[in-house]
A and B are shown apart, each in its own frame.
Chain A
Amino acid sequence: MTIDPVTQEILDSALRSISEEMAVVEYRSSFSPVIREMLDYNCAIFDERGRVVAHSETIPALLGVMQFALEHILEHHDGPLADGDVMLLNHPYRGGTHTPDLQVFRPAYREGELIGYVGSIAHHIDVGGRLPGSESARNTEVFQEGLMFPGIKLVERGVRNRPLYELISANVRDPHATVGDLDAQLAACMRGADRLDELCARYGTGLVKGAMGRVIERTAERVSAIFDDWSDEAVESIGHLDDDGHRGGDPVPIHARLQVIDGVLEVDLTGTGDQVNAGINVPVSSAHSSVYFAVRCFLDDGISQNAGLFQRIRLKTRPGSLVEPLFPAAVSARHLAVQRLADVVIQGICKLCPDRAVAASHASFPNFVFQAHDERVGKTTVFTDMLGGGTGARADARGDDAVDAYTSNCALMPAEVVELEYPWRVERSELVRGSGGTGRFRGGQALRRDYRLLAPSANGMYYVGQTDPRFGAAGRAGGGVGAPAEVRLRSVADETERRIPAKGDIELECGDVITFISAGGGGYGEA
């Protein structure tokens, strides 16, 4: 079917508008602060083959991951999904990312004809498992990381699968938050399906489906045209994780070889180190999102994020490596490696288009989940926060201070929210002077936050990357390396402040102060 270019443009913007509308619905009705304050979720529309057509712009870490889950569902479901069915998936080895990211999908029908699918992915505060928040760098197998849904019916023809809800509620630490956020995801999908139906009623189902295909083709054409302007040589880039994430051990290399071949960017990660016996392995879907993010930074603003972009980027990974781990390796704290992978690919692309080269941003991503009993309200609370750091300096400007860099874009928890809702006090929240790499333009500065426990005790996990000074954010054109990250503990028992391991499970007592310090960004040019 041919569509005139103006109608195509109008349908394209309508489809993007629907995905944003879904995101608005989900945002406004969600429960946990992970979605509300951190925006760790995404909504998307897919064509009838399961290819991404339009995608909300909330968090890059979830860019282009949902297609893997939907593909798995469509391949394994017995027959087509019925109108009103909603599927749930989070299994890291069946198209999912890490277990807390619950994905739901719903087919959209118009008068019995399948238009496509709508879906939502959201990071839930907890899905059960060994520790609150379900994540830990020190996990050794995915079974410690909570419930796994392999692509299962959450709703069948509009009727909720009650036993499944009961199972979920019985296995997570904060069932209200989990069920509430799932409800918000359902509301977003319902809105998306309704709007697609309306669009087809107005323009005709055939025309809308034709426009979906053309949206993808157009993006692919645009992406190829940009790649063709890049150098066609093969370049290499390497970065390291500090250690294996569990018992220290050797640094883990992340290696990328990049080359544009016939309008397709090939990203060969087979030189990356072996998978580790810890929770920092990267499920293959997340490896893709990280690379998609890095590439998209170098494309024009006008490039939509859909399957057309994704099909022009070809990843090569090696089974058994950090970025294609074998079941049941643990993956929950994948984000450290995801950030580092984005960094490695960005530094590689800088070699393909040197006039846009920038210094490296921090990839330290301090993150924790602590559980404590709040005596003010008589209930157990699960508290999480994430710290930004310094971004890389540019040829004409310094890096930004305290920014959640690369594939993440989470807000810092306001101290007043922390203190109102959790038995914790933020004692300081400040920039680390001098932590940006030196240079004509300095790198962005790191962030330090001190949290004092007010409850009798707390337990949980934390992790911070980039604590090894050798692997700080690289400078460019003679600029200096950003300062490394660290974790400190001022124990009430002995009143001493000391540095503690960068990743771990921990128990704290009332009055303890735990301090997280992120890494600085790289500098640009000779100082």
Chain B
Amino acid sequence: MSAGLTASSLPKMSLSQQENGSARSARIGVDVGGTFTDAVLVGDDGRFRIAKVRTSAPDVSQGFLEGLELVAERGRAELTSVDYLAHGTTVATNAIVQRRFDRTAFITNEGFGDMLEIGTQRRHRLYDLWSPEPAPLVPRELCFEITGRVGPEGDVVEPLDEDSVMRTAAALRERGVESVAVTLLFSFVNPEHELRVAAILAEELPGVPVSLSHEVAPEFREYLRANTTVLNASVLPLVGGYIGRLVDALGDRQVPAPLHLMQSNGGVTTADVAGRMPVALAASGPAAAVIGAARIGEAVGQRDLMIFDMGGTTADVSLVLEGQPQLRFLGEHGGHQVNFPQVDLLSVGAGGGSIAAVDEFGALAVGPQSAGSDPGPACYGTGGTRPTVTDAHAVLGVLSPDRLLGGSVALDVEAARAVVEEHVAGPLGVPVEEGAAAILRIANANMTNALRIVTVARGHDPRDFALVPLGGAGPMHVCAIADELGVTRVVLPRHPGVGAAYGLLLSDIRHDLRQGWVRSTEEVDVDELDQVIAGLRDRAAELLVGVGGLEGAELIFEADLRYTGQAYSLTVPLPVGEGSSRALEAAVAAFQELHQRLYDYSPGVTTTEIVTVRLSAVDPAGRTELAADRPAEEKPPEGERQVWMEGEWHACRVVQRSALGEGDELAGPAVIEQEDATTVVNPGWRGTVVAGGNLILRKEADR
């Protein structure tokens, strides 16, 4: 096989054809990130368009609309013919990080009013005597106690004193509270008192939203449940307002499609549900990209994936097992633990803007400090004076000197060489190219360790996975990281730099519900379990109103089990189809097997407990078919430049991604350029373009 494009694979379609005609309908995803707002359009002809605009501040909805209009224009679609619209937003995440909370009150049991201040009593920084712990989400003067108590079996230990609730309601009114969170002990077993408190508040404080802990996070551990509920209440007015404004603006533009929002669990939901449960959006930022990668992997026959999504400041690494992104139930936002299902990611300080420095002892470190987008890498010429990962790429010839982000920024290679020389190569006493290569090796090692941790923590071997790079920078690192991990397959999506926006269009409508229910599996009352299952089903039906209901949805039941005495649990399938009793038996067997696989042993204890019952309701109605890819007819010219790889300069082919069509092959060393990303194909790696314009890279020896 030649190292180049095969003659037979030359693109056959004309450029003019691509520009002709306007799509009858369009599906659009808009992802608002920290620096850029990305929009992706898939027309009814399967055609794919992208647009990148600066994220607007402070009102990000302007950038949203700008991106929406620009991508529609590029796709020659009218906004009135948009028939699906999904949005990924960091508005909740940013509100949490910046603590832009509306006036929120917290209500709990007598004797527990300090719950938020006490927290877990653990310190965030073990050896730091100087930095204060993060302040609680609600100040103490807005925390209130009511009288009444429910016990662990749901028994009423002390009846609810309604006068104490009335007094609290009066105090809330006096203080002009805009949102309320209620967390009463054992409400997840018996919600009677929480519901009664909500009813009284609804009467006394009409129009003030109330978040109840048994609805937001119905599991045991009161502080975690309270904090999650409080976070929901704190951002509810702001996020609700944002969503409302967007819906209005879309109405003004006569966009017929309802707005869908991406949640932390990697599924989208309606504007209405998101407005009521904004905590579900807290970690939505990186989730869509993972979903998109999972779908693309599926389409090209790769179901076990390690994904790294490299942004400006961090790289987010995650796993897809058997086509499924992995969820976790605990997250941390702004220093506060939150119990809400989210795509399981590990962030490491290895982004394009991560700063490299050599300390006085000659040790080179990369990140976690980042030059971000302001001042940015030195090679952007926007004021950056410290060497970054991007500068290292510039020095090594990876980045095109005259083309970045569609030509909008020219690359100052000399500036990159100067800062790498001054801060890295000089102190290490090596040539500037080796200094730049060292920066990349360290950044790659950081990502490699993170990928290894997420894989082994789930009992897997990284070598069994295909690696997927996302973000504009990810594809520059992918071969090197694959080599470090012993991975021999790489899936390179057609548009890795807009992975999140595209992922929005590939996501399902999805709700992950749970019900804390602590029982020995040997003593489960089957009727009671049936009720728990029915209760979850009812809640799913409510959330799916207006989007197809339960009928259109796949319902996946799971259970969290543990060995008696263990403090934490594992989640396994609960196949309820054959009745609760059989389902439980199957769950216990699955738990024992999973425990053995994850930890290489089964303990002497043989009795198990069920802790939580879970339901994932998944409706694929919104999911878009993968876009077709049509290479340009006039093949953009192939170039060549010197690129430093594996310790020496290579005369390296530079191929435009738009020139590659299905069936094309190419071999490293090569650089592939496109508007949203640059890819480095190392020597020893070989690529084949497959369906949708996606590229599969394989290590030569593996072929």
Q: Chain A residue with minimal CB distance to B438?
A: A6
Set of chain B residues within 8 Å of A218, measured between Cβ atoms: 361, 363
Nearest 7 Cβ contacts at the A-B interface: A428-B111, A36-B567, A388-B121, A29-B599, A17-B449, A10-B445, A411-B120
Interface-located stretch among B29-37, B122-130, B327-335, B528-536:
B122-130
Instruction: Determine if B121 and A394 form an interchain contact, defined as CB atoms under 8 angstroms apart.
Output: no
The CA-CA distance from A361 to B498 in the complex, in Å, is 49
Interface residues of A in 396-430 (CB under 8 A from B): 397-398, 400-405, 409-412, 414-417, 419-420, 425-430
CB < 8 Å: which of A57, A180, A361 contacts B565? A180
Instruction: Determine if B599 and A28 form an interchain contact, defined as CB atoms under 8 angstroms apart.
Output: yes
Instruction: Determine if B598 and A176 form an interchain contact, defined as CB atoms under 8 angstroms apart.
Output: no
Known contacts A28-B568, A397-B130; 6 additional CB pairs below 8 A are: A5-B364, A175-B604, A397-B132, A400-B133, A409-B123, A412-B121
Instruction: Determine if A180 and B604 form an interchain contact, defined as CB atoms under 8 angstroms apart.
Output: yes
A180-B603, A416-B152 known; A29-B598 Cβ under 8 A: yes
A179-B603, A180-B603, A191-B456 known; A31-B565 Cβ under 8 A: yes
Sampled A-B contacts (17; CB under 8 Å): A5-B364, A9-B364, A9-B365, A10-B445, A21-B457, A25-B457, A31-B605, A176-B564, A180-B565, A191-B456, A222-B361, A358-B130, A394-B132, A401-B117, A414-B223, A419-B152, A447-B118
With an 8 A cutoff between CB atoms, is A501 at the interface?
Answer: no
A400-B133, A415-B112, A430-B112 known; A221-B361 Cβ under 8 A: yes
Q: Chain A residue with minimal CB distance to B363?
A: A9
Question: B-facing mask of A1-43, CB < 8 A → 1, else 0?
Answer: 0000110111001100100110011001111110111010000
The CA-CA distance from A6 to B364 in the complex, in Å, is 7
Q: Chain A residue with minimal CB distance to B516?
A: A416
With an 8 A cutoff between CB atoms, is B141 at the interface?
Answer: no
Interface-located stretch among A181-189, A270-278, A486-494:
A181-189
A5-B363, A414-B221, A429-B118 known; A28-B598 Cβ under 8 A: yes
The CA-CA distance from A397 to B441 in the complex, in Å, is 40
The CA-CA distance from A409 to B110 in the complex, in Å, is 27
Q: Chain B residue with minimal CB distance to A177?
A: B565
The CA-CA distance from A427 to B158 in the complex, in Å, is 12
Nearest chain A CB to B188's CB is how many angstroms away?
A: 9
The CA-CA distance from A414 to B224 in the complex, in Å, is 9
The CA-CA distance from A405 to B520 in the complex, in Å, is 36
With an 8 A cutoff between CB atoms, is B548 at the interface?
Answer: no
Q: Chain A residue with minimal CB distance to B224?
A: A414
A176-B605, A190-B600, A400-B133 known; A416-B363 Cβ under 8 A: no
Set of chain A residues within 8 Å of B115, measured between Cβ atoms: 429
CB < 8 Å: which of B121, B129, B601 contacts A447? B121
Instruction: Determine if B133 and A187 form an interchain contact, defined as CB atoms under 8 angstroms apart.
Output: no
With an 8 A cutoff between CB atoms, is A450 at the interface?
Answer: yes
Instruction: Determine if A409 and B605 form an interchain contact, defined as CB atoms under 8 angstroms apart.
Output: no
Question: A-facing mask of B532-568, CB < 8 A → 1, else 0?
Answer: 0000000000000000000000000000000111111
The CA-CA distance from A410 to B122 in the complex, in Å, is 6
The CA-CA distance from A186 to B599 in the complex, in Å, is 10
The CA-CA distance from A97 to B552 in the complex, in Å, is 60
A416-B186, A416-B220 known; A21-B453 Cβ under 8 A: yes
A24-B453, A25-B599, A416-B186 known; A14-B445 Cβ under 8 A: yes
**Residue in A392, A403, A404, A426 with the greatest tally of chain B CB atoms within 10 Å:** A403
Instruction: Determine if A411 and B121 form an interchain contact, defined as CB atoms under 8 angstroms apart.
Output: yes
With an 8 A cutoff between CB atoms, is A431 at the interface?
Answer: yes
Instruction: Determine if B445 and A33 form an interchain contact, defined as CB atoms under 8 angstroms apart.
Output: no
Nearest chain A CB to B215's CB is how many angstroms away?
A: 17
Question: A-facing mask of B431-474, CB < 8 A → 1, else 0?
Answer: 00000001001100110010011001100000000000000000
Instruction: Determine if A187 and B600 form an interchain contact, defined as CB atoms under 8 angstroms apart.
Output: yes
**Residue in A24, A37, A221, A401 with the greatest tally of chain B CB atoms within 10 Å:** A401
Set of chain B residues within 8 Å of A301, measured between Cβ atoms: 127
**Residue in B133, B364, B565 with the greatest tally of chain A CB atoms within 10 Å:** B565
**Residue in B115, B442, B446, B449 with the greatest tally of chain A CB atoms within 10 Å:** B449
Question: B-facing mask of A357-375, CB < 8 A → 1, else 0?
Answer: 0100100000000000000
Instruction: Determine if A419 and B151 form an interchain contact, defined as CB atoms under 8 angstroms apart.
Output: yes
Total interface residues in chain A, CB < 8 Å: 83
With an 8 A cutoff between CB atoms, is B360 at the interface?
Answer: yes
With an 8 A cutoff between CB atoms, is A310 at the interface?
Answer: no
A296-B127, A416-B186, A447-B121 known; A32-B599 Cβ under 8 A: no
Contact residues of B: prevailing secondary structure: loop
Set of chain B residues within 8 Å of A402, measured between Cβ atoms: 114, 117-119, 121
Set of chain B residues within 8 Å of A428, measured between Cβ atoms: 110-112
With an 8 A cutoff between CB atoms, is A323 at the interface?
Answer: no
Question: A-facing mask of B573-598, CB < 8 A → 1, else 0?
Answer: 00000000000000000000001001
The CA-CA distance from A402 to B115 in the complex, in Å, is 10
Instruction: Determine if A427 and B111 form an interchain contact, defined as CB atoms under 8 angstroms apart.
Output: yes
Question: B-facing mask of A214-226, CB < 8 A → 1, else 0?
Answer: 0000100110010
Nearest chain B CB to A425's CB is how many angstroms away?
A: 8
With an 8 A cutoff between CB atoms, is B322 at the interface?
Answer: no
Instruction: Determine if A415 and B185 form an interchain contact, defined as CB atoms under 8 angstroms apart.
Output: yes
Instruction: Determine if A183 and B361 form an interchain contact, defined as CB atoms under 8 angstroms apart.
Output: no
Residues of B in contact with A (beta carbons under 8 Å apart): 110-115, 117-123, 126-133, 151-152, 157, 185-186, 220-224, 359-365, 428, 438, 441-442, 445-446, 449, 452-453, 456-457, 518, 520, 563-568, 595, 598-601, 603-605
Q: Chain B residue with minimal CB distance to A419?
A: B152
The CA-CA distance from A6 to B439 in the complex, in Å, is 9
The CA-CA distance from A403 to B136 in the complex, in Å, is 13
Set of chain B residues within 8 Å of A392, measured between Cβ atoms: 129
The CA-CA distance from A176 to B129 in the complex, in Å, is 38
Set of chain A residues within 8 Å of B185, measured between Cβ atoms: 415-416, 419
With an 8 A cutoff between CB atoms, is A297 at the interface?
Answer: yes
Set of chain A residues within 8 Å of B449, measured between Cβ atoms: 13-14, 17
Nearest chain A CB to B585's CB is how many angstroms away?
A: 22
**Residue in B113, B129, B457, B601 with the greatest tally of chain A CB atoms within 10 Å:** B129
Set of chain B residues within 8 Å of A10, measured between Cβ atoms: 441-442, 445
Instruction: Determine if B132 and A429 form an interchain contact, defined as CB atoms under 8 angstroms apart.
Output: no
**Residue in B118, B128, B131, B453 with the greatest tally of chain A CB atoms within 10 Å:** B118
The CA-CA distance from A25 to B452 in the complex, in Å, is 13
Instruction: Determine if A394 and B129 form an interchain contact, defined as CB atoms under 8 angstroms apart.
Output: yes
The CA-CA distance from A37 to B224 in the complex, in Å, is 13
Set of chain B residues within 8 Å of A174, measured between Cβ atoms: 565
CB < 8 Å: which of B118, B445, B563 contacts A180? B563
Set of chain B residues within 8 Å of A176, measured between Cβ atoms: 564-565, 603-605
Q: Chain B residue with minimal CB distance to A300?
A: B359
CB < 8 Å: which of A39, A184, A417 contacts B220? A417
With an 8 A cutoff between CB atoms, is A346 at the interface?
Answer: yes
Instruction: Determine if A416 and B221 form an interchain contact, defined as CB atoms under 8 angstroms apart.
Output: yes
Nearest chain B CB to A80's CB is how many angstroms away?
A: 25
With an 8 A cutoff between CB atoms, is A293 at the interface?
Answer: yes
Instruction: Determine if B222 and A416 form an interchain contact, defined as CB atoms under 8 angstroms apart.
Output: yes
Q: Chain B residue with minimal CB distance to A20?
A: B453
Set of chain A residues within 8 Å of B113, measured between Cβ atoms: 430
Set of chain A residues within 8 Å of B123, measured between Cβ atoms: 400, 403-405, 409
Set of chain A residues within 8 Å of B132, measured between Cβ atoms: 394, 397-398, 400
With an 8 A cutoff between CB atoms, is A302 at the interface?
Answer: yes
A180-B604, A190-B600 known; A431-B118 Cβ under 8 A: yes
Q: Chain B residue with minimal CB distance to A360?
A: B129
Instruction: Determine if B566 and A411 form an interchain contact, defined as CB atoms under 8 angstroms apart.
Output: no
Set of chain A residues within 8 Å of B359, measured between Cβ atoms: 302
Instruction: Determine if A187 and B599 form an interchain contact, defined as CB atoms under 8 angstroms apart.
Output: yes
Q: Chain B residue with minimal CB distance to A219?
A: B361
The CA-CA distance from A183 to B520 in the complex, in Å, is 22
Nearest chain A CB to B141's CB is how many angstroms away?
A: 13
A25-B599, A187-B599, A430-B111 known; A13-B221 Cβ under 8 A: no
Instruction: Determine if B603 and A17 form an interchain contact, defined as CB atoms under 8 angstroms apart.
Output: no
Q: Chain B residue with minimal CB distance to A58?
A: B126
The CA-CA distance from A466 to B113 in the complex, in Å, is 26
